[in-house]
Chain A
Amino acid sequence: MFESFPKSFTIPSFKLPTFVSAVGAKLPQWPHAVVLTTGLNAAVKMRLLPEDSLELLEGKTFLVEVLDTGSHARFTFRGGLFRPLFKTGSPATSEGATVVDDLVFRANLSAFLQLVARQEDPDTLFFNRQLTIEGDTELGLVVKNMLDAVEWPKLPHFPGFATSSR
């Protein structure tokens, strides 16, 4: 679906001002997890994600933290579906948290957008220290390679994304 960006469209590297994250951290966190898991489940249903890789995600918890918006999404994969995990507060500081995430991705919004749009390679962002990965490194590789292997459907399936570039 992201292939629908016009060819000339590039996402610049930017960092939102810190007050945004201060506000963002106070907002309820669950919508991000809901949006993310809904998208991932759609991909599962369309059989875009390879089953052998999905099996390796069973029961694992994931945390995606967007640093400059102060938001995060925590979710798990169980019984063939991605499910949001509802916890409030900043995951980095939540004392007494019972969840130890198996895998944590942290980056600024622009880096995440560049990743999703396949404009930058995660290794590049990692080398440049714009993306941090903590926890189970092998699981991280599974997730990265799984998303890399997805052939996002071309436009006809997503009329809403139509652009003049095609």
Chain B
Amino acid sequence: MPQIKLPELVCPAGSLPALKAAVDNGADTVYFGYKNSTNARNFAGLNFDEKAMIEGIRYAHARGRHVLMAINTFPQPGREAEWRRAVDGAADLGVDAVILADVGLLDYASKRHPDLRLHLSVQGSATSYEAVNFAQREFGVRRAVLPRVLTLAQVELVIKNTSVEIEVFGFGSLCVMNEGRCWLSSYATGESPNTVGACSPAKFVKWEKAPGQMNTRLNGILIDRYDDNEPAGYPTLCKGRFEVNGETYYALEEPTSLNVLEILPEIVKIGVSAIKVEGRQRSPAYVAQVTRTLRAALDELGRDVDHFKVKPTWQTELAKVSEGVQATLGAYNRPWR
């Protein structure tokens, strides 16, 4: 039976109970962020204050797991100090690595905290090995999270040409494209992930229930309308239904979730170092369900990679918590480049 090195399972934590749920259900690593715009899930009431961070790190480390801090938005003009403070805070707290997107901040972190391990965020949008190697050469980046726009062959090409560890997304809501560059939310609301840390901030979102249907509005703009038995999705512009040339449909992307269970053996064989689960905005229940399922799948894979079969119960469990109707392999198996 061929022995393989299993990738690290990296799970999201938007709260202390979620962090503990991830650890208890088999995550190797958890990631979290401060309660402010220095991270890309800046939602009201979500995330960690320092006290919760200390307890979270203690809980994970006591069980031999790692903790990463996401500081993955772009410092806004005149407020750079807030982002630097977040990096300093991460170093003081003793997290195992920080996940950064902005080159200025990477530069600051590498100079100010030479011992702090740096990961390049998906928001940094490094899609080629040149970009990844640049981040390694200039800032000593040890791991890069690849955007969800690459095919499996492209991911393999990157891995073959770099010594930086590569992390890919394994499960979660899809942010369709151009990680780190999407301005759709700003177009409707003036705020977007890279500026305030949230796509379609809740204060602009209205769900209107009418008999038999529900309307979703973003800053007054109607972006979708669901029948009562149709599954709903997050209120993001990319997943809205629009009228184009007289036809109303999901013109940009359908509300789907990424799910890589089917291609897990390939992902492992090409040497991916870590698999990431999306969803710091989700509740502890979701974190527990997804972590448990992926842990089971990875362990099964570790027993015998060549005879790995996806269990229907895993798919059912993941399908239930998914956004939209279907789960897809995202770009991993797309024919286009």
Contact = CB atoms under 8 A, between A and B. Distances in A.
Interface of A: 50, 53, 56, 118-124, 126-129, 132-134, 137-138, 140-146, 148-151
Contacts of B14: 145, 148
Contact of B43 (A118, A119, A122, A145): A145
Nearest to B287: A121
A127 B232 contact: yes
Given A129-B226, A134-B209, A144 B321 contact: no
B228 A129 contact: yes
Contacts of A149: 15-17, 45, 52
Contacts of A144: 45, 283
23 contacts: A53-B45, A121-B282, A121-B285, A121-B321, A128-B320, A129-B214, A132-B209, A137-B203, A137-B207, A138-B205, A140-B202, A141-B44, A141-B45, A141-B202, A142-B44, A143-B45, A145-B14, A145-B15, A145-B43, A148-B17, A148-B18, A149-B17, A151-B17
Given A121-B286, A124-B321, A127-B232, A50 B202 contact: no
B297 to A, nearest CB: 19
Contacts of A133: 207
A141 B15 CA distance: 13
A53 B44 CA distance: 8
B114 interface: no
Contacts of B214: 129, 132
Interface string B198-232: 00011101111100001000000000001011111
B164 to A, nearest CB: 33
Q: Which of under 10, 10 to 19, 20 to 34, or 35 or more describes the interface residues of B?
A: 35 or more
A138 B18 contact: no
A148 B209 CA distance: 25
Interface string B16-56: 11100000000000000000000000011110010010000
A129 B231 contact: yes
A145 B44 CA distance: 7
A137 B320 contact: no
Contact of A124 (B17, B229, B320): B320
A56 B35 CA distance: 15
A5 to B, nearest CB: 13
In the A-B complex, list the 9 residue pairs whose CB atoms are closest, starting with the nearest: A145-B45, A121-B286, A138-B202, A121-B283, A149-B15, A137-B205, A121-B285, A138-B203, A142-B45
B231 A127 contact: yes
B72 interface: no
B284 interface: yes
B110 interface: no
B232 A126 contact: yes
B271 interface: no
A133 B269 CA distance: 44
B124 interface: no
A166 B172 CA distance: 33
Contacts of B202: 137-138, 140-141
A115 B181 CA distance: 35
B323 interface: yes
